[in-house]
Amino acid sequence: MLYYRSMPDANLSTFAEARAERAESTRLDNFVDGAFAFPITLPVISGAGLPRNVAALGHALRGVPAFAACFAQLAWLWRAHVRWRDNVRLTERGSLPWSLLLVCFALIFVFPLHLVYAGMFNGVSSGILSPDVTAFARGNQGVAVLFVCYGLSYACVAGTLATPYRHGARTATWMDRGAAVGVRVSSVVWAYVAAVGLLPALLALVPPPQWNGLAGWAYFLLVFIGLIAKRYRRHLKATLPS
């Protein structure tokens, strides 16, 4: 207390503002982390309960690959938000809504995400894996609806990640050149991911059911993320002032 009394009023005000910002940032990070933990558990707890015999255990384990894929996908999105917070460190009205919107979309995203991966593993294993996948994900009409829901959710989540990166690149002027390049590259990468998610949704809306398969293959465009990031990083290093 003696330390606070000996500080000038301007320093006290700056210290209080910094402390309030750190507290708000911590609350936001804890909320987002907890919110992402919830959808990660949904593919598991959505079952009827714990297996009560060996046969039920074996049946439940056949859904593990789909859960692992869902886990990896959601962890990738969560990690992108963590990297944004680490690099930009903005806690203000312009960035707060994007974190909350990301949580909202992630909670919506988990349902079509699980159906897509369950249907995929069920199909490639001839029904051995994810045996509980519903007929909704098997017929042509059901597959089309699923790809539309999944693609739109994917695009919304990725677009929500691209926007705060873009916002941070414009407003966080304190960043050094290396950090600024990384943030700008991330904004372009997530914008590309959003476009890739939107493409299968549009293809699934085309009347011939044969387009459904093409909609699924469209996600392999994500393999070009590394190439896009590398070329854009090279462009920024050549154009941004030192």
Task: Give pLDDT tens digits for 174-210.
Answer: 667 777 788 889 889 999 999 998 988 888 877 666 6
Contacts by 107-112 with C-beta closer than 8 Å and gap 24+?
A: 107/35, 107/38, 107/39, 108/153, 108/156, 109/39, 109/74, 109/153, 109/154, 109/156, 109/157, 110/39, 110/40, 110/42, 110/43, 110/70, 110/74, 111/42, 112/146, 112/149, 112/150, 112/153
Contact between 81 and 162 under an 8 Å Cβ cutoff? The reply is no
CB atoms within 10 A of CB 131: 13
Q: Calculate Rg over the CA atoms of the chain.
A: 22
Q: How far is CA 125 from the centre of its chain?
A: 27
For the segment 89-130, what is each residue's pLDDT rounded down to a tens digit? 655 556 677 778 888 888 888 888 888 888 888 878 888 888
pLDDT at 105: 86
**Is 135 a residue whose pLDDT tops 60?**
no
The answer to whether the Cα torsion of 116, 118, 122, 125 is positive or negative is positive
Query: Is 133 exposed, middle or buried (CB count within 10 Å of its CB: 0-12, 13-18, 19+)?
Result: buried
Nearest-CA neighbor of 151 among 214, 88, 101, 99? 214
Query: What is the rounded CA–CA span in Å between residue 31 and residue 144?
Result: 34
The string of pLDDT tens digits covering residues 41-99 is 666 654 556 667 788 778 778 888 888 888 888 888 888 888 887 777 655 556 677 77
The residue among 185 and 32 whose pLDDT is bigger is: 185
Q: Give the model's pLDDT for residue 227.
A: 93
Residue 236: CB atoms within 10 A of its CB come to: 16
